[in-house]
Amino acid sequence: MTGLEITSHKTLMLFSGRGFPELAEEVAEHLGCQPSPVTLYDFANGETYCRFEESVRGCDAFLVQSHTVPINTWVMEQLIMCDALKRASAKRITVVAPFYPYSRQDKKTLAREPISAKLMADLFRAAGANRIIAIDLHTPQIQGYLDAPLDHLTALPLLSDHIAARGDVDNVTIVSPDAGRVRVAEKYTDRLGTPLAIIHKRRDPRVANDAKVFNVVGQVEGRCCVLVDDMIDTGGTIVKAADALFDQGAAEVLVAATHGIFSGPAVDRLKNSRISEVIVTNTLPVTPDKQFDKLTVLSVAPMLANAIRAVFDDSTVSGLFDGTN
């Protein structure tokens, strides 16, 4: 048995999708177990086949999947795995989705648009998920989309501790790249004891991944500015934000984000920018073609393992929400 048996009546079993199995293996190592075996493959027409190789009856199942590209494939795979666990009589199914899929589509901006983040919650619930564990949702209200517990973890302590370890925190200014990230940026300033600056920009809702940076509100001249965000996708917004900071006299600009998506031109934009360091976590795999000299990748595996252990033991997870543990 590859699961971790605590008593004769309660067994933790960890399963991994194919999106980023290395993360699941690292989580399992921290838990002191191994991912349980599962057969996954694609039929000729692209449909996914799933079969668990061990009995899962009565187990506490944790299903880890990284929703990287191709995201729709890995979402569907995780849904199919949930369904298989439900039909095989797993006692409880927890979806571990460090990067919650479709999180940016959390509301209707224009008429006749979907709210895809809510659809994801409905699909996971219908497939059999009793709980979701996610890290740094794009917007906190997504927690209310699921008619079941959603443990919203944060990588803020991991990222902020790395910033503090660089030294000279007295010369650091935390910068929110837009008004929507101000509350997150304030949490960094509370933890590090640094001032806050805000970049004012206007985003055109009709153009995906397009943003125009305008002015900087706050004191950044001569300071090390740290832009904080939940994700970096194409890198356009964050590079323009960095340029705005340099135009206002910033001495150095760092970027800290939980999810490194790095789509399209992101890597070229970041490595050719004046940004000194880009700090992300491994909620998504950073493949060799997405790696560059300025990039630092921190592991969320210990945090996920702590959350899984707490859920399994029915103990508190609240300290992982705000980084107090």
Task: Please give the positions annotated as active site.
Answer: 201
Dihedral (CA of 270, 276, 280, 286) sign:
positive
Alpha-carbon Rg of the chain, whole angstroms?
A: 20
The Cβ-side half-sphere exposure at 9, using a 13 Å CA radius, reads 1
For the CA atoms of 253, 258, 260, 265, the dihedral, rounded to the nearest 10 degrees, stands at -40
CA nearest neighbour of 310 among 302, 221, 165, 108 = 302
Residues 175/227, Cβ–Cβ less than 8 Å: yes
Strands, sheet with 10-16, edge to edge from the N-terminal-most edge strand:
4-7, 10-16, 60-64, 92-96, 131-135, 150-153
Residues 78/95, Cβ–Cβ less than 8 Å: yes
Give the C-alpha separation, 64 to 132, whole Å.
Answer: 10
SS3 87: helix
Give the C-alpha separation, 289 to 262, whole Å.
Answer: 10
Distance of CA 63 to the CA centre of its chain: 15
CA nearest neighbour of 70 among 236, 261, 266, 257 = 261
Residues 256/275, Cβ–Cβ less than 8 Å: no
Residues 75/54, Cβ–Cβ less than 8 Å: no
